[in-house]
Chain A
Amino acid sequence: MDTQFLVSFSIIIATFALYIGIAIYNKARATSDFYVASRGVPPVFNGMAIGADWMSAASFIGMAGTIMLLGYDGLAYIMGWTGGYLLLTFLLAPQLRKYGRYTVPEFIGDRFDSHTARVIAAICTIIISFTYSIGQLSGSGVVIGRLFEIDAKLGTMIGVVLIAFYAAFGGMKGITWTQVAQYLVLIIAYLIPVIFMSLQLTNSALPWLSYGELVGKMGELDRELGISEYFAPFTNGTKWQFLALMFTLMCGTAGLPHVIVRFYTVSTMKAARWSGAWALLFIGLLYLSAPAYAAFSRFILMTKIAGSAITDLPAWTKSWIDTGKLQLADGNGDGVLQWSELIISNDIVVMATPEIANLGVFVIGLVAAGAMAAALSTAGGLMISISSSFAHDIFYRVWKPNATEKTRLSVARWSIVIATLFAGLIALNPPGAITQIVAWAFALATGTFFPALVLGVWWKRSNAQGVIAGLLVGLAVTLGYIFAAKYGGFTILGIIDTGAGVFGAAAAFLTNIIVSLATPAPSQKIQEEVLDLRYPEQMVYKDGEVWMNEDGSTKA
């Protein structure tokens, strides 16, 4: 344990020194820099930054384990969390970039010309980002706690201090380049164990091509054991739950404020298009590897651990049994550990597999550093979203329009510190599993922002009354369904709390459209601004005519 601790600790410290160094180097000075870097981040690097923002503790630590335990049904996460980038890149990102506002509440406030809509959008942003960040903080707590062999609560507190530090003092400018470094650390940390396991089990350095063989073999093993095959569809929920969860994760992706704000850091609509493509390529590297990770872990557990004598288990089992996340009980008392007697929590699969496969201290330490990068990078982006919603959209635009830049910057920093502390406090006793909390945040984004933004960009007739009613109804329906399904046992077509976004989005779209049509159309100016979003920057829509700007001047 001592060598392992020293190696893991050194790798984590080295990567942290790198992130903090970058954050200090880029210490933000002006407010505009604080929110969206300098608007000139090249698409490839912006793609990596989106990737790091995007891939959280849930993706890194939780996803492979979820797939391992759910089999085919877990793939809803793979398709949902990647397919949403098409909705985002086609329907929203370039248009929002042309509109040229800093944040989602600012777009909603200006597009619908309503301070009420702005405040509701800011509150929705805070609720979504806050919910999401609780999951990240408790994830970082588990990793830190496990590493130092201290209580996870203490680990969470260390995570809180780190996040508050570089989110508040680096701002997004620090974060953009910090995120690039974090992406590289986390992807390397994820790929190395998968490639090593692939070499061990299939003699191939390309896990993506080689694990199909194991998936087939595991089906045979499952049949011998008389359990449902690993790849059999819909064994853990209905087909409708699969589809609803996938829909919720996709639309939530397109409506998450901290991801959308990334597209304001690029210079043009064209750059937004390319950023979306690069982002999904970088994200896809991890998402294509997670099912391979899951298959290798399950195969090793089934063939090397299950079937061994209960007195003859490897050393790694002890430390994980102590965490309460792994149970090995010789239920039938025959002295041999059966597959059915092995109960593993999905949260430890990624962390424990390098130990199970005996990949060495360096790889184990690297995985811990990658998990920390995933949790902290996403939490950093979330905190910026929360602080800009409060300091910019509520405090400056509505509450104190005369506030000086210095006051606003200090309000932004304090709101980060307070939000991080408060989220950390809840993360000490999280209200659900990490993946479950994260899925709620997606359901809320699907029920609120996705309909509001799509209609705001694509339908000029959508007005302030429509969007206010839509946001409130979507929020109420989504929250209502989550609580009814989780605590009341209420379900429709077997759709549980994680798929709640389907109902929220349907209700919000309908409400927005019906209320908009029942109330007066938005002003001529707003309708023209919406039509203007159909064209690239150089084409300008005005008074029913389209103008081509050839000399770059902004005057008519």
Chain B
Amino acid sequence: MKKIDKAVADQYFREKNRYMVIYFIIWFIVSYGCVLLAEPLSSITIMGGFPFHYFMGAQGAVVSFIILLFINAKVGDMIDKKYGIDEEQNIKLSAGKSVDH
């Protein structure tokens, strides 16, 4: 075990949270935002017939959610790498940490 600067660890935590806040803002806009503005959005038509509010509810929001989750997984890996986190060690550590009963 090696002691690291608490500021570095906090930086890690803040960096992850900053991304999370961005993801949640997009999450809110594509779902709640589009429902709140459903009436004005319904006059826009896309993809050969979809009124825009309907398209967002049926497809746009779901596709955005999936993309956000994959971005989160990938960005999470990159942040881990930046801070020198080794997944092999994580696997070993969690195997030892789980309650054994």
A binding-site residues for B, Cβ under 8 Å = 31-32, 39, 72, 75-76, 78-79, 82-83, 85-86, 89-90, 97-98, 100-102, 106, 208-210, 212-217, 219, 231-234, 239, 242-243, 246, 267-270, 273-274, 276-277, 280-281, 284, 287-288, 291, 534-541, 544-556
Q: Residues of A contacting B27 with CB < 8 Å?
A: 83, 86
With A83-B27, A102-B99, A284-B66 as contacts: A547 and B57 at CB distance below 8 Å = no
Among candidates B50, B69, B99, residue contacting A276 with C-beta atoms closer than 8 Å: B69
Interchain CB contact under 8 A, A538 and B89: yes
Interchain CB contact under 8 A, A75 and B54: yes
Interchain CB contact under 8 A, B77 and A270: yes
Shortest beta-carbon distance from B20 to chain A in Å: 5
Interchain CB contact under 8 A, B63 and A537: no
Interchain CB contact under 8 A, A100 and B99: yes
Shortest beta-carbon distance from B49 to chain A in Å: 3
Interchain CB contact under 8 A, B1 and A549: yes
Interchain CB contact under 8 A, A547 and B1: yes
Interchain CB contact under 8 A, A291 and B49: no
Shortest beta-carbon distance from B78 to chain A in Å: 11
A-B contact count (CB 8 A): 206
Which residues 37-56 of B have a CB within 8 angstroms of A?
A: 38-39, 42, 45-51, 53-55
Among candidates A267, A541, A556, residue contacting B94 with C-beta atoms closer than 8 Å: A267
Among candidates A76, A97, A288, A536, residue contacting B80 with C-beta atoms closer than 8 Å: A536
How far, in angstroms, from A538 to B62 measured CA to CA in the complex? 33
Q: Residues of A contacting B92 with CB < 8 Å?
A: 552
Q: Residues of A contacting B61 with CB < 8 Å?
A: 78-79, 82-83
With A75-B54, A549-B1 as contacts: A83 and B31 at CB distance below 8 Å = yes
User: Can you name 14 A-B residue pairings with CB atoms under 8 Å?
Assistant: A39-B98, A85-B65, A85-B69, A100-B94, A239-B35, A243-B36, A270-B90, A273-B76, A277-B70, A534-B12, A537-B90, A538-B89, A538-B90, A554-B93
Tell me if A's interface is mostly helix, strand, loop or mixed: helix
Shortest beta-carbon distance from A406 to chain B in Å: 14
B-side interface size class = 35 or more
Interchain CB contact under 8 A, A86 and B57: no
Shortest beta-carbon distance from A206 to chain B in Å: 11
Q: Residues of B contacting A276 with CB < 8 Å?
A: 69, 73
Interchain CB contact under 8 A, A243 and B35: yes
Q: Residues of A contacting B69 with CB < 8 Å?
A: 85-86, 89, 276-277, 280-281
Q: Residues of B contacting A291 with CB < 8 Å?
A: 57-59
How far, in angstroms, from A32 to B101 measured CA to CA in the complex? 6
Task: A39-B94, A212-B47, A277-B70 given; name 17 further pairs at CB < 8 Å.
Answer: A76-B35, A212-B48, A214-B49, A233-B53, A243-B32, A268-B87, A268-B91, A277-B72, A287-B62, A291-B59, A536-B80, A538-B85, A538-B89, A540-B1, A548-B4, A549-B93, A555-B1
Q: Residues of A contacting B50 with CB < 8 Å?
A: 212, 215-216
Q: Residues of B contacting A550 with CB < 8 Å?
A: 1-2, 86, 89
Query: Which residue of chain A is the closest to B7 with respect to CB atoms?
Result: A546
Query: Which residue of chain A is the closest to B97 with respect to CB atoms?
Result: A100
Q: Residues of B contacting A79 with CB < 8 Å?
A: 31, 35, 57, 61-62
Shortest beta-carbon distance from A389 to chain B in Å: 16
